[in-house]
A and B are shown apart, each in its own frame.
Chain A
Amino acid sequence: MAVQTRPATSGMSKRQRAKIGRGVQYAVLLAVVVVAALLADWGRLQDQLFNLEVARALFPTVLTTALLNTVLYTASGFALGLGLALVLALMRMSSVAPYRWISGAYIEFFRGLPALLVFLSVGIGIPTAFNNVSFNRNVTVMIALGIVGSAYMAETIRAGIKAVPNGQLEAARSLGMSHGRATVTVVIPQAFRIILPPLTNELILLTKDSSLTFVLGATLAQQELTQFGRAAMTTYPGMTPILVVGLCYLVITIPLSVLQQRLERRFGPDGR
């Protein structure tokens, strides 16, 4: 064990005090867990939340329909949002002033609105305002999620582009690349490497925002995870469907985090 290198002076050493402090923290944690475990009604919890029979009844539809729809809605919305965001970011840095204004106004507007309002506007507002315009439901979802994501991602991308050292652009220009060519070939790829973590963040946020598609109404085949879970709760007793659906979200988001870490490691500590 620890060897006293110094003759003990009066009272406790700093290390001893730290040791006792840690011991107290463990004790508090243990006490909380024990009290919670004693107070919980395990029988009811199992019946209401961890009901295996109910859980089994949800499969495989929860995967083949609900999870699949969540992934599809999110992926299409993210793809559209990313494209839009890139255009908006470039517009915001344009030398043409009206482009900067339009992009700035768009970002401020849609960043400030609750996603639910965007869904309602796209899903109900547009068909009402323009009599003959009605999109396929999947397209409506894609547009709504794309708009929600694009406002945030535009700022993320702009930050990434600004974070690329100016020397990279100068080197590209000195080799004869035009400004546009240099931006596409050199600056944007490096910007995306920088913004990989916040972009993953945005993808995860969109995954959860896809639950808002319920305001558009859905057939059984169009239900995504949250709506599926809520519908199942009216069929089965207890809250087990919510737990199952919650785990399904983690099945999507945790691999995304792992993928992000993989990609970051692959691109290496970016040498400047």
Chain B
Amino acid sequence: MSDVKIEISELRKSFGELEVLSGVDQRIEAGEVVCVIGPSGSGKSTFLRCVNLLEQPTSGRIVVDGVELTDPDADIDAARTRIGMVFQQFNLFSHLSVLRNLTVAQRKVLGRDRVKAEETARENLRRVGLAAKENATPAQLSGGQQQRVGIARSLSMDPDVMLFDEPTSALDPELVGDVLDVMRGLADEGMTMLVVTHEMQFAREVADRVLFMDGGAIVEQGRPADVIGNPQRERTRHFLARVLNPTHAVSAVESDSDHG
């Protein structure tokens, strides 16, 4: 086996009485692209947010790059510099220009000098096709552009792993493609990626592995052609039928999961 980037064992998370994750195990190897699908409330976003400890797990073990993050003595800030995170709502720093969004953490966390930080920032803006926008403020950008800046901001820290929390869910449909193209490019370059998404087409084409989550657990996982193309579990079939055919034009739950 090649080297393991993320290793999660017996991950549990409760909010008060409500158990959101009920024992999740997962190993993600270097360069793997893993897409997490599932109905809302299935715990998939919480799962992703536990990986960089934005949510503190109730119990379980999370190891990224050989560092156990769930160890109370772990330097979580240092670990997070190697784990990029892209948010559904972009969360660009609204008081800073695009360029400064990309340089601020490089300078204040990694201690890079201005020249080096801006060089890295411009390189990553080019990578997401927004080199011309470095002086814009986030409010001047479309949602799709903001999300690409969000990706470039994470990439500027030179992460080993990228987490995507429904990166296209807040976008107008015509803007989704540009963001997915950037993510596809990253996958091709060999970035290790964990992506919570509703974009089944993207999961099919780009993912090495798809996890279907429901009720706080991984119900089914495997190659996308299997999980999405030929789901074995009833819950997976039911979910895919609703996602791929939301208007119920054809009666649900057959091998109709091949969308149009």
Q: Shortest Cβ distance from A19 into chain B, in angstroms?
A: 42
Which residue in A181, A267, A270, A271 is a CB contact (below 8 Å) of B109? A181
Instruction: Tell me if B91 and A176 are in contact (CB < 8 A).
Output: no
Per-residue B-contact encoding for A230-270, CB less than 8 Å = 1, 0 else:
00000000000000000000000000000000000001111
> How many residues in A have their beta carbons less than 8 Å from beta carbons of B?
24
Instruction: Tell me if B87 and A270 are in contact (CB < 8 A).
Output: no
The complex places the Cα of A178 from the Cα of B77 at a distance, in Å, of 6
The complex places the Cα of A268 from the Cα of B92 at a distance, in Å, of 16
Contacts of A271 in B (CB 8 A): 94, 137-140
Per-residue A-contact encoding for B69-101, CB less than 8 Å = 1, 0 else:
000000001101101110101011111000000
Tell me if B67 counts as interface (CB < 8 A to partner A).
no
Which residue in A168, A267, A270 is a CB contact (below 8 Å) of B91? A168
Q: Shortest Cβ distance from B221 into chain A, in angstroms?
A: 25
Asked, given contacts A168-B91, A171-B92, whether A176 binds B109 with beta carbons under 8 Å apart, the answer is yes
Which residues 79-127 in B have Cβ within 8 Å of A in the complex?
80-81, 83-85, 87, 89, 91-95, 104-105, 108-110
Contacts of B108 in A (CB 8 A): 177, 181, 185
Q: Shortest Cβ distance from B92 into chain A, in angstroms?
A: 7
Asked, given contacts A167-B87, A185-B108, whether A175 binds B154 with beta carbons under 8 Å apart, the answer is yes
The complex places the Cα of A271 from the Cα of B139 at a distance, in Å, of 4
Per-residue B-contact encoding for A157-181, CB less than 8 Å = 1, 0 else:
0000000010110111111111001
Tell me if B11 counts as interface (CB < 8 A to partner A).
no
Which residue in B54, B83, B94, B110 is a CB contact (below 8 Å) of A270? B94
Instruction: Tell me if B139 and A269 are in contact (CB < 8 A).
Output: yes
Tell me if A190 counts as interface (CB < 8 A to partner B).
yes
Q: Shortest Cβ distance from B115 into chain A, in angstroms?
A: 20
Which residues 131-157 in B have Cβ within 8 Å of A in the complex?
137-140, 150, 153-154, 157
A/B pair count, beta carbons within 8 Å: 74
Contacts of A176 in B (CB 8 A): 77-78, 80-81, 105, 109-110, 157
The complex places the Cα of A11 from the Cα of B83 at a distance, in Å, of 75
The complex places the Cα of A173 from the Cα of B91 at a distance, in Å, of 12
Instruction: Tell me if A173 and B93 are in contact (CB < 8 A).
Output: no
Q: Shortest Cβ distance from A185 into chain B, in angstroms?
A: 6
Contacts of A167 in B (CB 8 A): 87, 89, 91
Q: Shortest Cβ distance from B136 into chain A, in angstroms?
A: 10
The complex places the Cα of A173 from the Cα of B93 at a distance, in Å, of 12
Which residue in A171, A175, A177, A270 is a CB contact (below 8 Å) of B139? A270
Which residue in B78, B87, B95 is a CB contact (below 8 Å) of A190? B95
Tell me if A196 counts as interface (CB < 8 A to partner B).
no
Q: Shortest Cβ distance from A217 into chain B, in angstroms?
A: 45
Instruction: Tell me if B80 and A267 are in contact (CB < 8 A).
Output: no
Q: Shortest Cβ distance from A167 into chain B, in angstroms?
A: 4
Tell me if A98 counts as interface (CB < 8 A to partner B).
no
Per-residue A-contact encoding for B208-222, CB less than 8 Å = 1, 0 else:
000000000000000
**Chain B: CB-nearest residue to A193:** B95
Instruction: Tell me if B78 and A185 are in contact (CB < 8 A).
Output: no
Instruction: Tell me if B157 and A175 are in contact (CB < 8 A).
Output: yes
Q: Shortest Cβ distance from A161 into chain B, in angstroms?
A: 14
List chain B positions with a Cβ less than 8 A from chain A: 52, 54, 77-78, 80-81, 83-85, 87, 89, 91-95, 104-105, 108-110, 137-140, 150, 153-154, 157
Q: Which 8 pairs across A and B sit closest by C-beta, in order of nearness?
A: A271-B139, A176-B81, A175-B105, A171-B91, A174-B85, A167-B91, A176-B109, A176-B80
Can you pick out 6 interface pairs between chain A and chain B where the beta carbons lie within 8 Å of each other?
A168-B93, A176-B105, A185-B104, A185-B108, A269-B139, A271-B138
